[in-house]
Homo-oligomer: A and B are copies of this chain.
Amino acid sequence: MSDGFSLDPRLAGDTVLVADGPLSQLRLMDDARFPWLVLVPRLPGAEEWLDLDGDAQRLLLAEINLAGRALRALGPVHKLNIGALGNIVRQLHVHVVARREGDAAWPGPVWGSGPAQRYDATAREDLLARLRDRVAG
């Protein structure tokens, strides 16, 4: 159930919905520089991983695994980066990012690495279709 859940407007503007998982919305960061997924638990008021109960933590862990496998299915991944920061957007969200040596922020973090480069519409729809196939499978 998602009574009272609403997506932070900044997350809504920066990402697009891929699919709903058991706990979280799985969203694609609209930044063609990095294959980058974001999990947003549909829990009103959740800000800290630490404050989730054990069941929610385990569901989120399973969704992180799913997101990482979906990214690996897209192409070579030299390193997965997983992060829950929330210094700017307080609504709990977990980043799962496929990093490649020489990408736009390598070897630094993607956070704070400059403005997003939006996908063109065709590339975004193609990527969303591939991700949806993968997470439904």
Please tell me if the beta carbons of B84 and A83 are within 8 angstroms of each other in the complex. yes
Q: How many copies does the complex hold?
A: 2
Q: Is the CB of A80 within 8 A of B111?
A: no
Bound-state Cα–Cα, A111 to B111, Å: 9
Chain A residue total in the interface (Cβ 8 A): 30
Give 1 or 0 for each of A19-56: 1 = CB within 8 Å of chain B CB.
00000000000000000000000000001111000000
Dominant secondary structure at the A interface: mixed
User: What CA separation (Å) do A70 and B20 show in the bound complex?
Assistant: 33
A109 to chain B minimum Cβ distance, whole angstroms, is 5
Contact of A85 among B81, B84, B112 (CB under 8 A): B81
State whether A84 and B82 are in contact (beta carbons under 8 Å apart), knowing that A50-B69, A112-B109 are contacts in the complex: yes
Segment with Cβ contacts to B, from A4-12, A86-94, A115-123, A126-134? A86-94
